Structure 1
Amino acid sequence: MDLDLTMPVGELTRALVDVPSVSGDERALADAVEAALARVGGLRVDRDGDAVVARTSLGLPSRVVLAGHLDTVPIADNVPSRVEGRRLYGCGTSDMKAGVAIALRLAATLPLAAGPGGLRHDLTWICYDNEEVSARFNGLRRLAERHRNWLDGDLAILMEPTSGEIEAGCQGTLRVVVTLGGTRAHSARSWLGDNAVHKSGEVLRRLAEYRPRSVTIDGCTYREGLSAVRIDGGVAGNVIPDLCQVTVNFRFAPDRTPQAALDHVREVLDGFDLEVADLAAGALPGLDAPTAAAFVAATGRTPVAKYGWTDVARFAELGIPALNYGPGDPNLAHTRGEFVDLDAIDEGERLLRDYLTR
């Protein structure tokens, strides 16, 4: 595929959407992105797997990273894309090929030079794979492990869908599995058994009565949540079950460390056997960083908390302030009717262009 990064950003978004790139199958799109960036003068382009990184080297005093994932969730009869009015429909339009299109078009159309009319910051573009699946496959995680210096910057802007607002930091996430044991028996003689599923009632009662806290950090209010998200149990329609497992998800504010979050869940579910299935730190807003403050001022937006976990946490872990900003509506992500407003893509490109140039 020959990808023209100078085409209007809405058309570029559509071109990206029309290349299927479900997690684990990003190769064709990564090839096209790499080839297109290689044709832009003034960039060093590197690749690891299906992650592509391009960088300027102008010697400017600060560096801004524009990052976005190339993959999508499985297609739901919504590729190829279609346009209706000023809406572009298709898998990945909102999450997050519109944001990636903005970043790529800027790579091809910004004046990649210092001085009046040029860039305020050196820039890095990161387009990576496998964000929508298990963290162990995440392309940004792989880059951090293999090529830490490729991620260096004074601010990272993750082009996640935020409806054009600035979402600062992100929640941490913890999943634990509560295992409840019992004794199997024939259901006609239930008194001979010990029903493990019934024991889940106490776990569910504690979760139902749990009162999550809200905490405000740098003017952004993060709401926590502790929820049962899955229950597994039962053998057959005539058997008292001897095993039940309840999966519990804790979305915690970024002022808690992962260990503090785990300690809190253990306290709430004291007396039960817990096994950690997944644990990822959140990210503080980082709004006091000069580059972040300048971006907020340039947008005129009031930052709000990010509900959910995003790869801003990976940048924060590396000591790089990071924000979420993109044109898509996060409520439309992963839906069959996913779309992005073309006007919102245009506005996102204009805003970032103004921020990045003198």
Structure 2
Amino acid sequence: MRDVTIALDLAADPVELTAALVDVPSVSGNETALADAVEHALRTQAPHLEVVRSGNAVLARTNLGRGSRVVLAGHLDTVPINHNLPLRRTGSGDDLVLHGCGTVDMKGGDAVMLHLAATATEPRHDLTFVFYDCEEVEAERNGLGRVERELPEWLRGDLAVVCEPSNAAVEAGCQGTMRVEVRTDGRRAHTARGWMGVNAIHGASEVLRRLAEYEPRKVEIDGCLYREGLQAVRISGGVAGNVVPDECVVAVNHRFAPDRSPAEAEAHLREVFSGFDVTVTDMAAGAMPGLAHPVAGQFVAAAGGTPVAKLGWTDVARFAALGLPAVNFGPGDPSLAHTREENVRASDIRRCAEVLSRFVNS
């Protein structure tokens, strides 16, 4: 075990634990100090857990022989700091708010997980905790993917709870995402003799018309309403200010409900843009909510309220691909993630800690 100088009190109020985590910078690729502190705290304060290290991911689990296992996952990294460290507090008591990089995405969720790991010594489900690195960068660096490749047995269970921010409500499954490039071709000419060329950018007007008139689906699954979307996110074309462009590329992002596979989503986009050259540049499958699973139902009952669809893609999709029903449940407003104004309410952190404790202990 590494020598560490950062002390984390896992039995403390999860709000104070969040503050301690936030004040340890952990931009993607630089999580070592925080991973060291998390590993040291788990090994010294949670002797009932088996703990292993994989790069800058720290994994811990109970081995009590329970009839079911719940996997809780959270990433340790943040986006680059944007003049929003060290931590700042406003308000007090029930109105206390923590401000700073990582407060909402997702050190509040990490704190809830760490507190549960230390205090739930006799849970009714076996528990696995996965604190991983490099979630905020390209997928091939994602520490959860490395764990899946190298330690797949650590991701087996009956339910996965990803503690990404969800306003302390259950967000079930997630949308799939696909990026495509739609190309139009033309013929170059000098703009002084434009009639001798074919303007590829002008030719993209039909692509834009189809996008403007597109009516996205709304799909209800397990009582959760998923809203699809199709948006142009970038247009590029032209080589000089006096040349008729011979190529234009419209980059399009499609968010699709989890009842569609990536292959079905691709076929749909090729139909939408029939007659144009379409190239898929990125894709990720969504995750079905899976709320009919008994353990998932127990979690929803513990959380109360009505589950809602996750409008976005998260690592719940990785668990769904492994056959686990998966939900997002964590403190904070996801719309504040990656912003300079990132903040999380103390009441959200405490609610998530109470729900998870009730779920695993009752």
Both structures adopt the same fold (TM-score exceeding 0.5): yes
Range moving further from structure 2, 153-162 or 241-250? 241-250
Which one-letter code corresponds to 2:70 in the other structure?
V
Which one-letter code corresponds to 1:57 in the other structure?
N
Q: Which 4+ residue blocks in structure 1 deviate beyond 3 angstroms?
A: none
Distance in 1, matches of 2:28 and 2:246, equals 37
Distance in 1, matches of 2:175 and 2:267, equals 17
Which one-letter code corresponds to 2:111 in the other structure?
A
Shift of 1:98: 0.2
Q: 1:229 is matched with which residue?
A: 233
Q: 1:171-182 counterparts in 2 under 5 A? A: 171-182=175-186
Cα offsets for 1:55-113 (capped at 9, x unmatched): 11011111111111111111110011100111000011111110110000111222x2x
1:94 corresponds, among 99, 104, 126, to 104
Cα offsets for 1:160-187 (capped at 9, x unmatched): 1110110001000010111222222222
Shift of 1:243: 2.0
SS at match of 1:294: helix
Shift of 1:132: 1.5
Q: 1:104 is matched with which residue?
A: 114
Distance in 2, matches of 1:23 and 1:208, equals 36
Which one-letter code corresponds to 2:150 in the other structure?
R
Shift of 1:302: 0.7
Structure 2: 5+ residue stretches without partners = 1-5
Q: 1:161-310 counterparts in 2 under 5 A? A: 161-310=165-314
SS at match of 2:204: helix
Distance in 1, matches of 2:198 and 2:27, equals 45
Which one-letter code corresponds to 1:283 in the other structure?
A
Range moving further from structure 2, 271-280 or 313-322? 271-280
Distance in 2, matches of 1:102 and 1:151, equals 19
Distance in 1, matches of 2:196 and 2:23, equals 60
Q: 1:54 is matched with which residue?
A: 60
Which one-letter code corresponds to 2:103 in the other structure?
T
SS at match of 1:326: coil
Q: 1:128-167 counterparts in 2 under 5 A? A: 128-167=132-171
Shift of 1:192: 2.2
Q: 1:33 is matched with which residue?
A: 38
Distance in 1, matches of 2:269 and 2:345, equals 40
1:2 corresponds, among 7, 10, 13, to 7
2:81 corresponds, among 75, 78, 87, to 75
Which one-letter code corresponds to 1:194 in the other structure?
V
Range moving further from structure 2, 39-48 or 94-103? 39-48
Distance in 2, matches of 1:240 and 1:15, equals 57
Give the count of matched residue pairs: 352
Which one-letter code corresponds to 2:320 in the other structure?
A
SS at match of 2:280: strand
Cα offsets for 1:191-235 (capped at 9, x unmatched): 222212112111111111111110111100101011111111222
Which one-letter code corresponds to 1:218 in the other structure?
D
Q: 2:327 is matched with which residue?
A: 323
Which one-letter code corresponds to 2:67 in the other structure?
P
Q: Does 2:360 correspond to 1:356?
A: yes
Cα offsets for 1:11-68 (capped at 9, x unmatched): 1111111111112221221121111111120111112121111011011111111111
Which one-letter code corresponds to 2:302 in the other structure?
A
SS at match of 1:58: coil
Cα offsets for 1:249-271 (capped at 9, x unmatched): 11000001110000000000011
Which one-letter code corresponds to 1:259 in the other structure?
A
SS at match of 2:19: helix
SS at match of 1:245: strand
Range moving further from structure 2, 235-244 or 30-39? 235-244
Q: 1:124 is matched with which residue?
A: 128
Cα offsets for 1:327-347 (capped at 9, x unmatched): 111111111111000111111
SS at match of 1:240: coil
Relative to the length of structure 2, the TM-score reads 0.95
2:24 corresponds, among 19, 23, 30, to 19
Distance in 2, matches of 1:296 and 1:240, equals 58
Range moving further from structure 2, 37-46 or 164-173? 37-46
Distance in 1, matches of 2:137 and 2:76, equals 12
Q: 1:45 is matched with which residue?
A: 51
Distance in 2, matches of 1:267 and 1:291, equals 39
Distance in 1, matches of 2:257 and 2:358, equals 32
